[in-house]
Amino acid sequence: MVITKGNKINISENFTMDEIYSASRGQGDSFIFSDSCINALQYVRTYFKQPITITSTIRSKEYNTSIGGSTRSQHITGNAVDWVFSNDTNKNFEIFYRELLSGGDFVRSLLGYGILGIGIYKRTSNSGIFCHFDDGKSSLNKRKEITAWDSRKIIDWGNIRFDSTFVRNLRLSPKEPLAKKSKYDLFMNKLRSMSNEEIFKTIMR
């Protein structure tokens, strides 16, 4: 999807284009951003019924280097998003983490939306946690299968770590289209493929 500066249009039920742009660093007035990440964020927002704050989207190479990011980061090409639950309580992330570990419909649906990278990190500013999603399509680092990691030294919830080894043992396939698209999802996907002129004509009908 093309993201433009200062555009407050809703690109999903709960997220605006401006939220995606505001979390970018070192970009111009517009850039291409992953539809899969947007859809997955909306899925998590709807599933947990909790507001989400987007903390990082696309980054310039210079900015990414300045914060110690990988030279092959999916963020550089607009294929990744970092986010937190807005109320910033670890309780919501505990529920989220346990859903990942269950290997059930929740994590399978994330794959169905096209997410191939899931990372858990401890925030440096406080004791909170943030999550990373990416679609694995970056030209700098294409993923062939689901990759997961938890960078925390100590696991807060139980003794099982959500990582690539754990995911491989679940035998999940990113090709499984288990996330059923609602009519709203289908409409938004169609809208994203339309030009501004086509959108205007659709609205004025």
Interval 159-198: pLDDT, tens? 788 899 888 887 765 444 444 454 445 555 555 666 666 6
Q: Output the pLDDT for position 118.
A: 96
- The pairs formed by 46-50 with CB atoms below 8 angstroms and a separation of 24 or more are 46/13, 46/14, 47/106, 48/85, 48/92, 48/95, 48/96, 50/85, 50/86, 50/87, 50/92
pLDDT one-digit tens code per residue, 51-99: 999 999 999 999 999 999 999 999 999 999 999 999 867 888 989 999 9
pLDDT tier for residue 199 given thresholds of 50, 70 and 90? low
**Strands in 57-105 per DSSP E:** 80-85
- Rounded CA-CA distance 144/172 in Å is 13
pLDDT for the residue numbered 198: 66
